[in-house]
Amino acid sequence: MTLVSPSPAPQTSDAFEAYVRERLEVIESALAEAATGRMPFVTEAARHVIAAGGKRFRPLLVVLASALGTPRSEEDLTRAALVMELTHVASLYHDDVMDEADLRRGAPSANSVWDNTVAILVGDFLFARASDLVADLGVEFVQLQARTFARLVQGQIAETIGPAEGQDPVESYLGVIADKTGSLIAASTMFGGMIAGLDADQIRALDEYGEELGLVFQLSDDIIDVTSESTGKKPGTDLREGVSTLPTLLLGEYEDEESRELLAAIRSDLDDDEVLADVLGRLRAHPVIDRARQEVARRAEVARGHLVGLPEGVARDALSELCDTVVSRSA
């Protein structure tokens, strides 16, 4: 393969935005190609979640972090972004099986279109494709991806078995989402920095930034599940499935009668749409939502603080602005 000569990212806002957009378009095209199997059925199933769209948050982070320096090649930048997104998408296939989900990104989930076996095997196929691509990047990339995958699995196990006896439920939950969400987002920023040849301290800063941003990202989703009606899944899905999230965990710390009654209602059977709508309305009006938003905003500032030692310029500014963007999703 002939590598495209690397070039630094432009340093004006408009030009940098176009630079990022162009690379994300290349990555999007390559993503569909990477999800191609020998059999048409495998290709169809593997592209199912990809075709439903998505934020492509992890590829964006790879691109932005790589722009802190000069990517060693455009091909390797694309590979790094593909590895992160394929790993993420593969985990979604497995998550939907475990959660018995019907929807993913507003479309029927793979397990509901086909069955659990197909969804699991397709997830495995996408993990394999990510592993194939990462091998071309170098041993340090392979090691980081493997360690990230191990954290994803352990986070899922921890979520499945629940907090240990005597463990604080909020701290347990934060540990779960750090493994399930924060680890891959941190790996995305690290991949970008590694592609750009940043030094060890800068890579460590990106790791810390990405880990905290990942928590902010998931905690924002927790709030959105309660407050928004424009997401790809029905509002209150987590409540109905009995999934503990930041608002419901914080609600458990309130001792007034109204809060206790609301928590009891949340823990009851929410299969009836009217019952769920009533619980959602009460939870939306509860001060715990503002408290959860304050926690998200606080953690976003922690994430932003990790950027201080990184090279100044439009790329660092863009990473900083992402902190605001993730917080505003839950406002």
pTM over 0.85: yes
92 within some domain: yes
Long-range contacts from 120-123, C-beta under 8 angstroms, 24+ separation: 120/93, 120/94, 122/42, 122/45, 122/46, 122/48, 122/93, 123/90, 123/91, 123/92, 123/93, 123/94, 123/97
Task: pLDDT band for 54, please (50, 70, 90 cuts).
Answer: confident
Q: Are residues 122 and 258 in the same domain?
A: no
283 within some domain: yes
Residue 1, pLDDT score: 44
Q: Which of 178, 198, 218 is the last residue of a domain?
A: 198
Q: Are residues 183 and 221 in the same domain?
A: no
Q: How many domains does the chain have?
A: 2
Q: Are residues 107 and 204 in the same domain?
A: no
3 within some domain: no
- Over residues 271-288, the mean pLDDT reads 92
Q: Are residues 193 and 206 in the same domain?
A: no
The CATH number covering residue 277 comes to 1.10.600.10
Q: Which of 149, 175, 198 is the last residue of a domain?
A: 198
Domain boundaries, position 291: 200-330
Q: Are residues 182 and 211 in the same domain?
A: no
Hey, what are 259's tokens? 């809060």
- Please answer whether residues 29 and 95 qualify as being in contact, where contact means their C-beta atoms are separated by less than 8 angstroms: no
1 within some domain: no
Q: Are residues 152 and 102 in the same domain?
A: yes
Q: Are residues 42 and 117 in the same domain?
A: yes
Q: Are residues 86 and 176 in the same domain?
A: yes
Q: Are residues 139 and 33 in the same domain?
A: yes
Q: Are residues 156 and 248 in the same domain?
A: no
4 within some domain: no
Q: Are residues 257 and 112 in the same domain?
A: no
Residue 5, pLDDT score: 52
Q: Which of 154, 180, 198 is the last residue of a domain?
A: 198
| pLDDT, tens digit, 9 for 90 and up, residues 184-206 | 999 999 999 999 999 999 999 99
| pLDDT, tens digit, 9 for 90 and up, residues 207-245 | 999 999 999 999 999 999 898 865 455 778 888 888 889
User: CB within 8 A of 245, min separation 6: which ones?
Assistant: 173, 222, 225, 226, 238
Q: Are residues 189 and 241 in the same domain?
A: no
